[in-house]
Structure 1
């Protein structure tokens, strides 16, 4: 196995592992040692260090072989449409989301879910997971499998652990929120994204452009413009 792929496995495992460690098991120790603000700085530095290694190893790793070919305009556009949904989900998650760090959970037990929370109570994590699965389907290479599998695991397992942690912290508040909101996305409710379908346009174009630059090949909507420098 190429060295770059081994480094990528290490970096992804480190990023996922330290996230779980400092979000749950080691968090009390870290907060007691560094203080609340010091812990946030410390954890951010650890996460950024692993991300830098991930990006460097990803670029050094071989582009192939591909498990299958997605060299098909129709397939690319279908995948891109799913990716657009992920971006709309992400944009909707930025407003009124009780799952965000530091969110005030007081009164959450009396709140009736609306908008994106009729789809899932973890819109940000599922947005990330869906986006990554789409990238793997578009370019099913070993380096994408390693990167996407690790980060999808982080998003999905992290969501379950967040439910447990917030229920332990707030008891009835998060417990009743869980009973009123779905964990897995309810696609019958996607119309409740409302204006986020429109708001997602700019970030989606930027994200797919950045993705094209990182993967060094035209994907999704950019597949229509194969002669662009990337």
Structure 2
């Protein structure tokens, strides 16, 4: 098996292990080893498989399946800014869609939850789409594609699990949207509710600027490429 085949195995383990541990295996493992023991197993499987996948990604020679047009690099800038805003907003306020994220409706829908009830997962999904389109190589399609599937499929699975466990979560789903800005575009929420808040906006903008600056230093590839 070549390096690309091993990468597919590692990404499959990362995605499959996350889904198995998050859903069918979570309850029996918690009963067997306790919550802390489960979190330890989860961390070992998730971080171990992701580390293996990233190391294999480095070993796969890059190829080029297509050439992204120049406008795609420009379009990626606001998309990645949104991804960073969603990520910062997801870690600076409780989110009922996450494990241990609080009771739906206890504090109302606020911040980036008005954009999507899964801001962290959508930040990963947007990152994955941007890098799949712009990198356009086999190894990135596998790695970023796995993260994309995990983010969106995992979010949908989490919605079902949360709704089954807590009837109040259904009301939270009705007040929010899965796809970013769908609630505003469908008229279920006012357009003004799409404002993510000062903390998420400022933190996301700062993180976006830092990554733009550090991208060529860390990866050797400039994030902003206008001449293509």
Tell me whether the two structures share a fold, i.e. TM-score over 0.5.
Answer: yes
The residue aligned with 1:58 is 57
Residues 1:86 and 2:83 are matched in the alignment: yes
Q: 1:185 aligns with which of 180, 183, 198?
A: 180
TM-score normalized with structure 1 length: 0.85
Farther-moved stretch of structure 1 (189-198 vs 57-66): 189-198
- CA 1:81–1:93: 2 relative to 1, 3 Å: same
Aligned length, in residue pairs? 217
How big is each residue's C-alpha offset from its partner over 1:47-98, in whole Å with a ceiling of 9 and x where there is no partner?
111111111111001111232245x3x4323212211111011111121312
CA distance in 1, matches of 2:25, 2:106: 32
CA distance in 1, matches of 2:86, 2:68: 28
Q: Is contact 1:138–1:219 with CA below 8 Å preserved after alignment?
A: no
Q: SS of the residue aligned with 1:127?
A: helix
The residue aligned with 1:37 is 36
Q: By how many angstroms is 1:208 displaced?
A: 4.4
Q: By how many angstroms is 1:34 displaced?
A: 1.6
Q: Which 5+ residue runs of structure 1 have no aligned equivalent?
A: 225-230
Q: 2:201 aligns with which of 187, 197, 201?
A: 197
Residues 1:117 and 2:113 are matched in the alignment: yes
Q: SS of the residue aligned with 2:122?
A: helix
Residues 1:100 and 2:104 are matched in the alignment: no
- CA 1:59–1:23: 2 relative to 1, 3 Å: same
How big is each residue's C-alpha offset from its partner over 1:6-34, in whole Å with a ceiling of 9 and x where there is no partner?
11100100000000000011111211222
CA distance in 2, matches of 1:193, 1:52: 32
CA distance in 2, matches of 1:59, 1:44: 22
Q: 1:146 aligns with which of 142, 147, 153?
A: 142
- CA 1:98–1:22: 2 relative to 1, 3 Å: same
RMSD (Å), alpha carbons: 2.3
The residue aligned with 2:12 is 13
CA distance in 2, matches of 1:186, 1:42: 35
Q: 2:74 aligns with which of 72, 77, 80?
A: 77
Deviating 4+ runs (over 4 angstroms): 187-191, 208-215
CA distance in 1, matches of 2:21, 2:149: 16
CA distance in 1, matches of 2:180, 2:49: 29
Q: Which 5+ residue runs of structure 2 have no aligned equivalent?
A: 185-190
CA distance in 1, matches of 2:7, 2:214: 20
- CA 1:131–1:23: 2 relative to 1, 3 Å: same
TM-score normalized with structure 2 length: 0.85
Q: SS of the residue aligned with 2:120?
A: helix
